[in-house]
Amino acid sequence: MNGIDALAEIVQQRTGADAPVLEKLAHHVADAIGAWIAASKTSEGKALIAFRKHSQIADRSAAPSLDIDIATHVALVRLSEIDDIHLQSMTTPGAIAVPAALTLAAALPQAEIGDVIAAMLAGYEAVIRLGLAIKGPDVLYRGIWPTYFGAGFATAAVAARLLRLDLKQTAHALALSLSFASPSVGQHHAATTARWFSVGNAARNGLTAARAAQAGFTADVEILRSHLFAEVYGIEPDVAALAEPNLPVFEGVSLKPWCAARQTMAATQALREVLATGITADDIWDVTAHVPPPHLKMIDHGVKLGDRASFLTSLPYQLALAALQPAQMATLDPAAPTPLPLLESFMMKIKVAGDEKLLRHYPAVWPARIVVTTRSGEHSREVQNVPGDPARPLSAADIRRKFVHFVAPVCGQATDRIWHSALTAPCSREALLRLMEELRGVMVQAGD
C-alpha cells in the first residue's frame, strides 16, 4: 500500500454529498469567500493583487492565466487568518480547496455542479489526510508548514476531479504534486508577504501537476515510501491515513470565531468567559494561561509593529485584546488602531505555561486553562473547544454575522447579494459564475 493509489481512488469515487455535508460545505464556502474579500483590503492582499495585475501580458487586455488566478485566490483566503482549520492534521484546508475549485470550475464550461462539490471535498480530503499522514501538529514546530506542504496536493485532487482525469492520471497528479512540494517558507513570524505568495504558488503547482498527468506524464506513486520523506524530511508517513476510505475528515473541520492563530483561542475564550461573569480588566492582578506544551514557543512572545503575524500569534496580546479592546479581535489587522502601550501594560500581567495534562486528547482537541487573580481571589476556567469547533459549532446566524462583519466594509450594499451567491455556489453553476464575477470586481477595486 503506497497511499497515493488509495487516495486517487477516494478522489475518483467522490460523488457529491448528503444534505448535512452539503449544508456544512456551503457554510465553509461562504466563510472562505468572506476571508477572500476581507483580505483584499490588507497590505498583503494588495501586494498579491498587484502581482496578479503585473502578470498580465503587455497589452493589458488579457486576463491573468488560470494558474496565476489560483495562486492569488488561495493566498488571499489563507492570509486572512479567519479561514477554516482541521486541528488534528494542523491544516487549513478551505483556503486551498474552495478557491481552487471555484476558480477552476468557472474556467471549465463542462464542469457540472456535482463535479464542483466532489472536487471541493476531494481537496479537503487530500490536504487533511496528508496532514494526518505527516503528523502535522508534530512537524509544524520543527519548521514544516503542513498546509504549505499539502497545498499542491489538494489542488491536484481538485483539478483531477474537474479535469475528469482517470484513476491512473489522478494518482500521477497527486504524486507529481508531492515531488513539487516544499516543507517550509522560513520563519513563521517573519514580517513578509512572501509567506502568502508562497502558499498560493504551491497551490498553483498542483494545477500544473494535474495538467501534466492529463498530458501523459507519470510520477513516482511510491513517493511516500521513498527515502525522501524518511531521510530528507525526517518523516515516516502514516500511509493508512491516506488510504482509509471511511475516515471522517471534512466533518472535523472547524470555523474560526475571530482573527488570530487558532493556538491562542482556547485561552482567550476562557478569559472571555471569566470576564462575562462581571470581572473587569481593572480587577485583574495577573493571569496565568496554561496551554499544550507544543504550542508554547509559538504563542508565548510579545509583538512587533509592522509584523502582523506577531500580533496574531501572541497569546499575551490576544488576552490583552480580549480584556481591553474586544472589538479589535474582529479585525484582520488587530494592531492597527489599538493603543499599544495600554495593551503592553496588561501583557506584563500575563504568564504562559505549558501543561502536560492538557495533552489528554491532543491534537484532536486544543484546550487551555487560565487562572485569573483578582482582588476577590482566583478564578479558573478551562476550555476544551472554542466556538466554531465541531463540538461547539457556530450557528448559521453566527456564520452570516461573521461574513457581514468582514465583507460589508468592502462591499457595502452588495454584501447580501454576495452572501447568497457564496452560499449557493456549491449548488448552482449560475450562482458560482455570479460569485466569481463579484470577486473579480472586488479585486479590481482593491487594485486601483
Mean pLDDT of 249-262: 95
Mean pLDDT of the chain: 91
CA 214, 217, 222, 223 dihedral sign is negative
Contact 296, 368 (CB under 8 A): no
Q: pLDDT tens digit string along 376-385? A: 899 999 999 9
DSSP string of 241-288, one letter each residue: HHH-TT---GGGPBPPSSSS-GGGHHHHHHHHHHHTTT--GGGEEEEE
Longest CA–CA separation in the chain, Å: 72
Contact 268, 315 (CB under 8 A): yes
DSSP string of 213-226, one letter each residue: HHTT----TTGGGS
Mean pLDDT of 110-123: 92
Residue 59 pLDDT: 45
Residue 57 pLDDT: 53
Q: Which CATH class is domain 262-383?
A: alpha beta
CA 299, 186, 310, 91 dihedral sign is negative
CATH 1.10.4100.10 residue ranges in the chain?
Answer: 4-257+394-447
- CATH superfamily entry for domain 4-257+394-447: 2-methylcitrate dehydratase PrpD (1.10.4100.10)
Mean pLDDT of 145-167: 96
| pLDDT reading at 337 higher than 80 | no
Confidence of residue 52 (pLDDT cuts 50, 70, 90): confident
State the Cα torsion 94-188-174-118 to the nearest 10°.
0
Q: What percent of the chain has pLDDT over 90?
A: 73
Would residue 16 be called left, alpha or beta, if left means φ above 0 and alpha means ψ between -120 and 50 degrees?
left
- Give the type of residue at 220: D
Nearest 5 degrees, angle CA 263-CA 267-CA 268? 95
Contact 11, 161 (CB under 8 A): yes
**Beta strands of 331-416 (E only): which ranges?**
350-354, 368-374, 377-383
CATH 3.30.1330.120 residue ranges in the chain?
Answer: 262-383
Q: pLDDT tens digit string along 157-216? A: 999 999 999 999 999 999 999 999 988 876 655 566 688 999 999 999 999 999 999 999
Q: pLDDT tens digit string along 404-439? A: 999 999 999 999 999 999 999 988 999 999 999 999
Distance CA 315, CA 366 (A): 14
Residue 207 pLDDT: 97
Pick from 400, 412, 402, 399: which is nearest to 442 by CA? 412
Side-chain-side CA neighbours of 169 within 13 Å: the count stands at 19
Q: pLDDT tens digit string along 191-201? A: 666 889 999 99
